Amino acid sequence: MDNSDALAIKTDALTRTFGETTAVDGLSLEIKKGELFGLVGPDGAGKTTTMRLLTAIMEPTSGNAWVAGHSILKEGERIKERIGYMSQRFGLYEDLTVMENIVFYADLYDVPQKERPARIERLLGFSNLTPFKGRLAGKLSGGMKQKLGLACALIHTPEVLFLDEPTNGVDPVSRRDFWRILYDLLKDGITIFVSTAYLDEAERCTRVGLMHRGSILVDDVPARIKGSLGIPMVELWTAGARQAEEIVRGVDGVRSVSIYGDRLHVALERSEVAGRVLGKLKGEGIEVREQRAILPSLEDVFIAMVEGK
Ligand SMILES: Nc1ncnc2c1ncn2[C@@H]1O[C@H](COP(=O)(O)OP(=O)(O)OP(=O)(O)O)[C@@H](O)[C@H]1O
């Protein structure tokens, strides 16, 4: 792999089809060591398939990728030794205890016996699972299962960690704790590749790729994606946001509308369209309490890009 010293992951026209469906469509990506890369997209965008290709669980239809310096085509086994992977269901055995799950993964990855006690103690410690080590995994809360899944994925001290929608169905407090752990891992120099459908989480990554129908539409730091796309956005406070949304959607020059409580975020073709939107709402008798230009959130950008397709 070129630049193998600096890159953790490189893909070259990586493609995977299932019959008529192209789940991953000519992906070319470079992810440096030490990055926390977020693959963001709605359900069905191709995130899980990308992850299965990069973890050498599934073969591509065409193209290639290198992970930790090894090709997914020929060196899948070498890759598996050097990565950690947490699938959507955390990969746990519910009828085994917390400790038994960790030992199972330690056996799977041939972690030397003499290194195990210290590693297991550290992993149980950071995941706050020490008091629960005898509990069956099936009896843990969602947040605890997630942390156990992470501990299992880290038992062999991988260089690259793949997390497939790790916070799906996990409560907000556990989610915040989980992200804290990820930042600690990053400080230790691990590269993290995480997929998520939550855009607030994407904003926590060092770099984000927005995926839609198998392709990455943009790939940049979250702030630059938000700032550089030049999509004018306005936020409107209205009474009756649902009714207002329908009206605004029909205005010429509006790219997309999303509702946040009693506020609307409206993406526009040009900033002058804002006047037309306000005029239309007034004409329909809908009061706009306040309006201001806003920087689009990542979610706004994504919705505008997908709807603008
Ligand atoms: N094994 C398979 N056989 C047939 N089609 C598949 C298979 N795996 C994925 N697909 C299709 O490929 C596309 C991408 O799916 P993928 O699961 O990678 O998306 P995703 O972004 O991870 O979504 P989700 O969050 O729902 O898992 C979808 O249209 C899906 O139906």
Segment 141-150, tens digit of pLDDT: 989 999 999 9
Which atom of ligand 1 lies nearest, measured to the CA of 45? 21
Distance from Cα 297 to the centre of ligand 1, integer Å: 26
Over residues 93-108, the mean pLDDT reads 96
Distance from Cα 309 to the centre of ligand 1, integer Å: 20
CATH 3.40.50.300 spans which residues of the chain? Answer: 7-226
CA angle 118, 80, 77 (to 5 degrees): 130
Beta carbons within 10 angstroms of residue 59's beta carbon? 11
Confidence of residue 172 (pLDDT cuts 50, 70, 90): confident
CATH 3.30.70.100 spans which residues of the chain? Answer: 229-307
Beta strands 83-86 and 207-212, pairing class = unpaired
Residue 46 Cβ < 6 Å to ligand 1: yes
- Please report the ipTM that was assigned to this predicted complex: 0.95
| Residue 48 three-state SS | helix
Residue 209 Cβ < 6 Å to ligand 1: no
Please, what CATH class does the domain formed by 229-307 belong to? alpha beta
CB 257 within 8 A of CB 303: no
Question: What is the average pLDDT score of the chain?
Answer: 89
Residue 45 Cβ < 6 Å to ligand 1: yes
User: Which pLDDT belongs to residue 296?
Assistant: 66
What's the whole-model pTM score? 0.78
User: Which pLDDT belongs to residue 24?
Assistant: 97
Distance from Cα 45 to the centre of ligand 1, integer Å: 7
Backbone angles phi, psi at 34, to 5 degrees: 85, 0
Which superfamily does CATH assign the domain made up of 7-226 to? P-loop containing nucleotide triphosphate hydrolases (3.40.50.300)
Closest CA to ligand 1's atom 16: 46
Distance from Cα 98 to the centre of ligand 1, integer Å: 30
